């Protein structure tokens, strides 16, 4: 199991279209992946779960992955959050 803390930098957070791309990327991995915010943990492969966290710009979240491609999954999701989501408004 690996974890990574990331800060949401894009202007709209993980809402609507950016969340959809995040979920699609998470679903491309075999590992189980979760998003944690404060005391809540949701499946990163669930659109409703991710949206229910209300993640907005400036929030810090923790990504957790467990499985055969866990490190690649966290690297890809962290890169997506850090660099690409602002173009997906």
What positions carry a catalytic annotation? 15
Residue 33 host element (H or E): strand 32-37
Q: What DSSP string runs through 36-74?
A: EETTEEEETT-HHHHHHT---TT-EEEEEEESTTHHHHH
Query: What 8-state DSSP symbol labels residue 20?
Result: H
Identify whether the C-beta of residue 3 lies closer than 8 Å to the C-beta of residue 50.
Answer: no
């Amino acid at each position: 199991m690996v974890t990574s803390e990331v800060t949401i930098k894009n202007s709209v957070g993980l809402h609507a279209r950016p969340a959809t791309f995040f979920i699609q990327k998470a679903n491309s991995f075999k590992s189980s992946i979760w998003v944690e915010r404060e005391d809540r943990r949701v499946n990163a492969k669930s659109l409703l779960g991710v949206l229910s966290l209300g993640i907005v710009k400036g929030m810090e979240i923790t990504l957790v992955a467990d499985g055969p491609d866990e490190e690649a999954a966290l690297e890809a999701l962290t890169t997506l959050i850090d660099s690409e989501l602002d173009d997906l408004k």
